[in-house]
Amino acid sequence: MTTTRIGACGVLCLALFLSRAVPSIAAEVEEPVAGAPYSPHPDKVVVTKVKHFDNMCWKIATAGGTWYFENGETEGKSGFSSAFDLAGNDWIGNDRDKGYNKSPRTGGRHEYRGWPNFGEGDFDHPQRKSGTSTRWVDAEGKDVPFVDKLEGDHLIMRSANEKYELEYHFFPTHAAIKILKATGKYAFLFEGPIGGEQEAEVEKDYYVLKDGKPRQCKAGELGFLEPEFGNKFPSPFFYFVDSDPKDTQVLYIGVKNVGPETAGDEGWRQGQNMVIFSYGRDQDKRAYTGTDAVCVFGFHPKEPGHEPISAFIEARLADPFSAAKPKK
C-alpha cells in the first residue's frame, strides 16, 4: 500500500514538473517574433532554419552579427530581412509592417527595408515574391544537404531565380557576394535604420567614406546623393555609425569591379524609417551589368576608429573570398 502511494505521488510530481518545465524549455528555444541574435555569438559560421516575420529564413551567424535571409520557401521570397549586431539592434527589421519590429517608420514603411535588394523584379529583396530558391553548396558548387544546422569557417549559399544567381560567402569576420548570373540590371542597395532606430542628427547617426569624414544622412528622395559627389560615391565603401556607446559596431558595405562607369549611386535618409544607400542605383533604376562586381559587407568593431575599419574593408575587397587573417 505504501509503495502504491509513493508511486502515485511520483507520477503526480513528475506531471507537475513537466507541466511547468516543458513550456519553459520550449520558450527558451522558440524564435522570438522580432528575432534575436545568437547568444553567445559563435566563433564559427552557424546556420539554422527558422520562421521569421512569417517567412522561412536561414538564420546565419556571420560577419560579426546574426543575419536572417528569407530562403525562398515562403512564396519565393528572398533577401536579408534582419541584421542583428552584437548589442541586439536590428539594422533592417523588415516585418512587412505587421508590428513585430517596433522601430519608428515615420516617412516610410518597414516593408521598403532590406539587403541587398539586388535585382529587377525584387530579386533578393525581402518580403517580396521573386520566384527565388536557395541552397547550400561546397567550394565546387555541389549541394550540401541541410539537416538541422550547418557550421564551419566558410559556408556558401546560392540564391537564384530565372534572371539572377548569387553566391553568398559567409565567414565569421565578413560576408561576400559573387555574381554567377545577371541577365538583368542590378545594384547593391541597403535600406535600413542605423543602429536599429533611425535618427536625423549627424551627431547620432552618420556615414563615413574612405576619407574618414563623418557625414550627415540627409533627408532626400529617390536618387539623391550629395551634389559634391556627382552621381557616385568617391569611395569603394561606406559604413554607418550610431554614436550611442552601447552600439559598439559599425555596418559596412564595399564594392569592386562594378560597371558600367556611367552607373550612379545614392545616399539619403527617409524620415525616421531608414537610410537608403546604394552602389549602382541612380534615380530609382538599377544600372550595373555583367558578373564581375563583388561586394563585401558585415559588422566591424567601432573602436579604435576609422583607420583600422578602413584597412579591414579594403583588405576584404582585395581578397573577398578568403577568411580574414587573425590579428597578431
Write down all domains in the chain, each with its CATH number in brackets.
45-318 (2.70.98)
pLDDT average, residue stretch 244-267: 96
pLDDT band at 2 (very low <50, low <70, confident <90, very high): very low
65-71/55-62 β-pairing:
antiparallel
Report helix, strand or coil for 314: helix
Q: In the predicted model, what is the mean pLDDT of the chain?
A: 91
Distance CA 137, CA 142 (A): 5
Closest residue by Cα to residue 80 from 154, 161, 186, 189 = 189
Kindly indicate the confidence band of residue 204, based on its pLDDT and cuts at 50, 70 and 90.
confident
Q: Provide the pLDDT for residue 202.
A: 64
- The CA distance from 167 to 111, in Å, is 24
pLDDT attached to residue 201: 74
Fill in the amino acid letter for 326: P
Whole-model pTM over 0.85: yes
76 neighbors 161 (Cβ within 8 angstroms)? yes
So what's the pLDDT on residue 284? 87
